[in-house]
Amino acid sequence: MKQDNYSPQVKVMYTTSNMPRERVLTGIRANGTPHLGNYLGAMLPMVEIQHRKSKTHDIFFFVPDLHSFTTPIDHDTLYEHTLRNLKFFIAAGMDFWADGAYLYRQSSISAHSELTWILDCFTYFGEMRRMTQFKDKSALEASEVKIVKKVLDGYNLTQRLKKLTTQRPMADIRNLFMFDRKEAAQKIVNELQAVKADHISVGLFNYPVLMAADILLYNAKYVPVGEDQRQHLEITRDLALRLNNKFASIFPAGMFETIPVEWSKQLEFAQRDNGIRIRSFRTPEKKMSKSVSDPAGTVNLTDDPKGAVKKVMAATTDSFGVINFDWQKQPGITNLLQILSLLSGRSIHEVVTEWQGKSRYGDLKRAVAVEVEKLLTNFQQKVDEVNEAKLLEKLESDEATVGLIANTTLLRVQQAVGLRPRN
């Protein structure tokens, strides 16, 4: 059977050295405004990986713009935000023009969409239904459930009590009503959940399969992602192994030549035990999120530096009156210590040693505020300095190059499933 389907251009990439370079693939979000948590937890770690691995690995940076509207977005700003967020990564220190770095938009390469459909046909409904991210995003928010219960808590008992028999003890009547109220609340929650489910897109349900296509098209071995994407990486591995086994008679070496390594080896490659999770300044029990849902707790990379200082100074702490590094008992203080460590470039041990046991929370907040203001001022200046014409030129050039790689992989898949001749 024919197995060498590489175009001449792709063969050049494979033979420019004695040993093909392993590939790292990472996505750069296309929509929304990145915040401090994104910067410290995703941007900087990726910049560090490039600095450590660029001499030994090819790094594929792609903009997952097709993923962007699995949930509702402002479509009028998507294209603009795509370019803007690439500028953010450049300002964070990413070098898209380095040797072995490739930059492209997912939507510019149609092989992503076609491979997704083919993989869909070998993916089981139960596998997708078990994805926790889909469950989380399609479920009612805890705040929505609380609203229902709060409304019912404020329900006027008087009229209900008058309708109940006076032959029963008052305690029994109240207990009966409480049971009735809880039952009513649950019914409303169930109905709201059903309504919300009717407005959840198939794209959100299918998202992990598109992610699998993103990875497998380019034979990526390493895919640095957070813990929340772990299941998606695992389903990618499962699909690749499933199809490789099914079509082993056509491609004995594997239809997909490279399968991403398992989770523990991904963490080892990225040199981290767990991802960094920056917490909200207002509710430090939760991670920093979109400013729409947590305006006081989120510092966006586009925020006015002086305004960001005010958010830091208003950060929620605790009443213990002494600084300790303890996520369980003092999440607000611990979050400030972590941010100070990351922004100042000092180890967490060094920062904790300096502040441990001190009682002036305001001094710690001021130290963090200084670093945040400095970061935003310098960062925003670097964003303004990015040459957009040069960036677009890089995108278009690399999209032509990686498109050849993607189409080579897609052809192998098409041949295996019978869509193209095999000899």
- 44-81 per-position pLDDT tens digit: 989 999 999 999 999 999 999 998 888 788 899 999 99
Task: Give the pLDDT score at 271.
Answer: 82
Task: Give the pLDDT score at 192.
Answer: 56
Is 64 in contact with 26 (CB distance < 8 Å)?
no
pLDDT at 388 over 80: yes
Span 343-372, average pLDDT: 96
Task: Give the pLDDT score at 352.
Answer: 97
Q: 231-287, pLDDT tens digit by residue? A: 899 999 999 999 999 999 999 999 999 999 999 999 889 887 666 789 999 999 998
Q: Which two tokens stand for residue 375?
A: 């970061």
Task: Give the pLDDT score at 138.
Answer: 59
Instruction: Give the 3-state secondary structure percentages of the chain, helix then strand then coil, rounded to 5.
Output: 60, 5, 35
Is 133 in contact with 231 (CB distance < 8 Å)?
yes
Task: Give the pLDDT score at 338.
Answer: 96
Among 191-200, 272-281, 361-370, the range with the most confident prediction by mean pLDDT is: 361-370
**∠ CA 334-266-52, rounded to 5°:** 80
Lowest mean pLDDT among 95-99, 192-196, 387-391: 192-196
Among 130-134, 184-188, 302-306, the range with the most confident prediction by mean pLDDT is: 302-306
Taken in order of first residue, the domains within the chain and their CATH numbers are 8-131+203-276+387-417 (3.40.50.620), 135-197 (no CATH), 305-385 (1.10.240.10)
Strands 22-27 and 57-63: parallel
> Sheet holding 22-27: strands in order across?
22-27, 57-63, 101-105
Q: 132-181, pLDDT tens digit by residue? A: 766 666 554 455 555 555 555 544 444 444 444 444 454 554 454 454 55
Cα separation, 192 vs 256, in Å, equals: 43
24 DSSP β-pair partners:
59, 222
pLDDT at 346 over 50: yes
3-state helix/strand/coil string of 93-132: CCCCCCCCEEEEEHHHCCHHHHHHHHHHCCCCHHHHHCCH
pLDDT at 107 over 60: yes
Span 280-296, average pLDDT: 85
> In percent, how much of the chain has pLDDT > 90?
64
Task: Give the pLDDT score at 12.
Answer: 43
**∠ CA 63-64-69, rounded to 5°:** 130
Lowest mean pLDDT among 43-47, 223-227, 312-316: 223-227
pLDDT at 13 over 90: no
pLDDT at 222 over 50: yes
pLDDT at 354 over 80: yes
pLDDT at 319 over 90: yes
- Using the Cα atoms of residue 154, residue 156, residue 158 and residue 164 in order, give the sign of their dihedral: negative
Looking at every residue in the chain, the average pLDDT score rounds to 84
Task: Give the pLDDT score at 30.
Answer: 79
- Buried b / exposed e over 22-32, threshold 16 CB at 10 Å, is bbbbbbbbbbb
Cα separation, 22 vs 165, in Å, equals: 77
Cα separation, 281 vs 294, in Å, equals: 9
Span 383-394, average pLDDT: 97
Task: Tell me how far the alpha carbon of residue 310 is from its chain's centroid.
Answer: 27
Is the model more confident about 284 or about 8?
284
Question: pTM of the entire structure?
Answer: 0.78
pLDDT at 302 over 70: yes
Span 7-15, average pLDDT: 46
Task: Give the pLDDT score at 225.
Answer: 84
Task: Give the pLDDT score at 423.
Answer: 77
Cα separation, 7 vs 362, in Å, equals: 62
Q: 401-411, pLDDT tens digit by residue? A: 999 999 999 99
Span 213-234, average pLDDT: 91
Task: Give the pLDDT score at 314.
Answer: 97
Task: Give the pLDDT score at 373.
Answer: 98
